[in-house]
Every structure is written in C-alpha cells, then in structure tokens.
Homo-oligomer: A and B are copies of this chain.
C-alpha cells in the first residue's frame, strides 16, 4: 500500500469515545464520500476508500488519526491534492490537517523547489549567512515611489526586495509599470555595487493563471528571476503549474489565506515545498501573529529536512520582526534562512537607508558569531 497511498494525519478534537467513529467518517469523507455499505465495487473498496491506519490519544484529549488516501484520487493535480486532503473536512472546525506525506511517484511528479536553498544562494551570491529580505510598502503608492524605495534598499545591500503581498494590479501602480520601474532601480543599484553583491527584485503575481503567465513573461522581459506568490489565494493547482512551466524563476511563497486549520508545518512546510516553493514566508513567533516557537521550528524543519529527494526550501520568518531581534533569529534558525523585515525599518522614514544597512550588518555579524 505504501507506494500508492498519501498518508495524512489529522487532529480530531473530539471525545476519546468518539474518535474511532470520527476517524472512519473522515476517511470516507476524504475519499468516496459514501457510507462504506454503499460502495459496491470491490476494487474501489480495496484501493480507493480511505483507510484509518491508527489512532493516538494525545495528552490534551485530542486524537491523532493517520489516514491512508489513495494517490490515484489525486491524479496529477495539486488542487485536487488539497481537495482530497482537506476539501470537505475543512468545513469542520474541530478537525486539523496536521501532517502529510506522499508516495515517491507523487513527490517526483510535483517535484518540489526547482532552486531551493542552494539555488537561491547561487542566485544571490550569498553564502554562510542568512539572506536578507524586505518589502516595498505601502500599497496605494505610485510606481515611482516604490522604485525609489527599491533603489534605496538595493543600495543598502538587501539580498531580496519583494513587493508587499498586497500589491496586485492596482491603478496607483499597475503591475507592468511597477515591475519595470522597480527592476530598473534595482539593476541600477546592482551595477553601481563594488562588493560583488547583487539584489534580486521579486514582484507579486495576482489574478488567475493566465494573467500570472503574462506577468511572468513581463518579469522575464525585465530580467526578473524571482516572484512572490500566495498559493492559497491563487490555488495550489495554479501555483504548481507556474512552477512547472518556469524552471528558471524562483518562487517565494506567501502564506496569505492559509488560515489556521491546516497546521503550518503541513501546509506551508510540506505542501508548499512539494509544489515548488523555493522560500516560504511565515509569521514568526513574537511578532504580529500567533505561531508558537514550536510551530515555527517544526515549519522550518519541514522546509529543510531531507524528504523524498526534494530540494530544501528556505524558511523566511517575518511578520513584525526587528533588527534588534536578528541575533536571536539567527540563533533560532541558523544561517540557512532568510530574514524578512519590512515595517520596522520603514517606520524610520528618512533614516530608512541607514536602518536597512544596520539590518544587513546585523545579519552578517550574527552569522559570523555562530560560525
């Protein structure tokens, strides 16, 4: 069975007495959506119906249920993978998708990161320290304002400058104009650098697949090699199709609309990595959001640990981080990560260039200390 089954682990917040029944119902819900007695075909009963592998009662009273789902129900489609893992069960507030593993053939089909940590290091020329990243804010600005900011950030030596994830194709700074202006500003700063470093600009994709393909074509015309994308906004099928068809582009995944019902290590970790995220942004503990330290560490592990021969993806803790926390962040995540600080640097206003340089220096210093 191992070769043909997806193993999904769910947390059921239900009484111990009810856990076995609920797990069995879940296995049916996420496969044939029928009572077992209504499944008349012997092959379907044996090979397609979801199977409960085991139940583990937890100290908090919840139960972990491991369920084996038939890989054939997913076919080749990443959207269908999400549908079979959590489509109907997402409607149940007491069910959480906690972990996912896929058979080798499915791992190879989806293919994981095309660049991964090693590829991002080659792209940026950064070795032995975390990458630095910041965001172009706020939405509502003009393309010229964002390009000026991008130039400032690039001259300060940031490795990656991404669009804020709220950027789409708004009238104040339409995608094409913003892309051209920001890419030019970053290229100009790169040309003037003498330290061998190089900044990458990552514009934010939006709209349905067709529109995103147009945006990727525009990005290529402007020499842009990385994009920001929110897989749960555009749909996992779109995300994977774009990754598959643009092997030269690095994909920085944003957690927007990921919700709180799929455990971050499973969704932002395993599933985003499986479908091709080279780096994954997540709200670090102690920031504006509420992921716990344990969740953050499990997520970083899911992105970097050996898994099915897929490349490792770069953990990118974010969400209200500050320069003051850089030593702690580097101690926490090591050097194979990317640190993303946005608002805390922009708040400095006219001192923003100086603060950006402090960020870059702090990361180098913290990495040297751990070396």
Chain A positions within 8 Å of B, measured between CB atoms, are 25, 29, 31-35, 37-41, 43-44, 47-49, 70, 72-77, 79-80, 82-84, 86-88, 90-94, 135, 137-141, 145, 164-166, 168-172, 206-211, 230, 233-238, 240-241, 255-261, 283, 288-291, 342-343, 346-347, 349
Q: Are A166 and B206 in contact (CB under 8 A)?
A: no
The 9 A-B pairs at the shortest CB distance, nearest first, are namely A48-B140, A87-B256, A235-B235, A32-B138, A209-B209, A93-B260, A44-B140, A38-B347, A80-B168
Whether A90 contacts B168 in the complex (CB less than 8 A), given A34-B137, A44-B138, A230-B83, comes out as no
Q: Are B208 and A166 in contact (CB under 8 A)?
A: no
Contacts of A41 in B (CB 8 A): 138, 140-141, 145
Q: Are B208 and A48 in contact (CB under 8 A)?
A: no
Whether A168 contacts B75 in the complex (CB less than 8 A), given A35-B347, A138-B44, comes out as yes
Interchain CB contact (< 8 A) of A139 among B73, B77, B258: B73
* Complex alpha-carbon distance, A233 and B239, angstroms: 12
Q: Are B33 and A164 in contact (CB under 8 A)?
A: yes
Q: Are A33 and B168 in contact (CB under 8 A)?
A: no
Q: Are B44 and A82 in contact (CB under 8 A)?
A: no
Interchain CB contact (< 8 A) of A72 among B34, B170, B211, B233: B170
Contacts of A37 in B (CB 8 A): 347
What residue in chain B is nearest A164 (Cβ atoms)? Answer: B33
Contacts of A256 in B (CB 8 A): 83, 87-88, 90
